[in-house]
Amino acid sequence: MESTQLLILGTGPAGTSAAIYAGRAGMKTVMLGCAPKFAGDYEIDNYYGFPETISGRELQERGLEQAQRFGVEAVCDRVLGVHFGEKGGFVAKTESGREFSACGLVLATGVSRVRPGVSNLEEYEGKGVSYCVSCDGFFFRNRPVLVAGEGLFAANQAIELTQFTKDVTIVLQGKKSTITPEFMERLSAMNIEVIDAKIETLEGEDGLERALLSNGKTLNAHGLFIAMGQASGNDFAYTLGLERSGVFIKVDNEQRTNMPGIFAAGDCTGGFLQIAVAVGEGAKAAKSAISWLKNECPKNKE
């Protein structure tokens, strides 16, 4: 377990801005995530201080260099899950198997727009459909469950479900699997089947009982856990018990969530989804996190 004072999930404008402010304030800070969506060949013409057009990639690289100049550790590793630590604080687990513990947490992961494509999904949300294994896995003890997803996020959720039931199946939803050979071996050893099909419709009288697949087959399922693409701020919000508005995390004017020590900034909080706004929110989230670390974090009182 690697420990730090502040853990920032996301390396986009909001996360990098938060890292710059926290690092400059002398806080031991780790920023987790790889190249964000905007760090490509997008041409940016409306960012303050750049009369010439700048690419998203160059703007991201400049921000990252600035954060590292203030001692921030930037780790290119995807986060599979984050939860409360047994002795307080937070713990994040990454794709490579590393674990990071921290007293304060800033979520700046953007917003996921990946949907599983199940026709009547909303009818069964709260009646078998879940987005959080650590929240709801207990309710499906010894029952058949499905995980919808094509990558390591789905694989990790499926493995976590084996704490509660041995009847776990991953459905790729018609997408190409991006699960690594190492994780496939782990899934096989745990008898977790990976099905190259798509869930079309859900059935059940008083709750989820069955899933109808695109290949005409029917699977018994009392639980369906959605884990499409990569883990997002919304997924982490479910796990941590954060208040949400749709797919967005609710924050106050200082970027504080309803849970002490957790802050959020950027697209994952909704609003005007622009780089300039994300940078400002990242700065505010860092300011609030710095105050939290100084006044509330046990590590800073020792």
CATH assignment of the domain containing 173: 3.50.50.60
- Greatest mean pLDDT among 21-25, 49-53, 116-120, 248-252 lies in 21-25
Q: What pLDDT digit, counting tens, does each position of 72-128 carry?
A: 999 998 888 899 988 889 999 998 889 999 999 999 988 765 678 899 998 998 889
Percent of the chain past pLDDT 90, that is, above it, reads: 59
Asked if the structure places residue 138 within a domain, the reply is yes
Residue that the structure tokens 């940016």 belong to: 44
Average predicted confidence (pLDDT) for the chain: 89
User: Under the phi-then-psi rule, with left for phi > 0, alpha for psi from -120 to 50, and beta for the rest, what region is 164?
Assistant: alpha
For residues 205 and 268, state if they share a domain: no
**For 90-99, 124-133, 136-145, 262-271, which range has the lowest pLDDT when averaged over its residues?**
124-133
Let me know if residue 265 belongs to a domain.
Answer: yes
Which domain covers residue 279, as residue numbers?
Answer: 2-111+232-300
The dihedrals phi and psi of 149, each to the nearest 5 degrees, come to 165, 160
- 42 pLDDT above the threshold of 80: no
Mind spelling out the 3-state secondary structure of 265-278?
Answer: CHHHHCCCCCHHHH
The number of folded domains in the chain is 2
**CA nearest to 143, candidates 117, 159, 127, 164:** 164
Q: Are 128 and 224 in contact (CB under 8 A)?
A: yes
The residues near 5 (Cβ < 8 Å, ≥ 6 apart) are: 27, 28, 29, 102, 103, 104, 293, 297, 299, 300
Same structural domain for residues 36 and 125? no
Residues counted in the chain? 302
Burial class for 92, CB neighbours closer than 10 Å (0-12, 13-18, 19+) = buried
Q: What's the pLDDT score for residue 125?
A: 85
Domain for residue 189, yes or no? yes
Same domain, 222 and 244: no
Q: Looking at the structure, do residues 221 and 128 belong to the same domain, yes or no?
A: yes
In this structure, the answer to whether residues 51 and 16 fall within a common structural domain is yes
> Is there a single domain that holds both residue 185 and residue 258?
no
- CA–CA separation, 229 and 152 (whole Å): 8
Q: Looking at the domain assignment, is residue 116 inside a domain?
A: no
Q: Is residue 125 part of a domain?
A: yes
Q: What pTM value is reported for the model?
A: 0.75
Same-domain pairing of 133 and 57: no
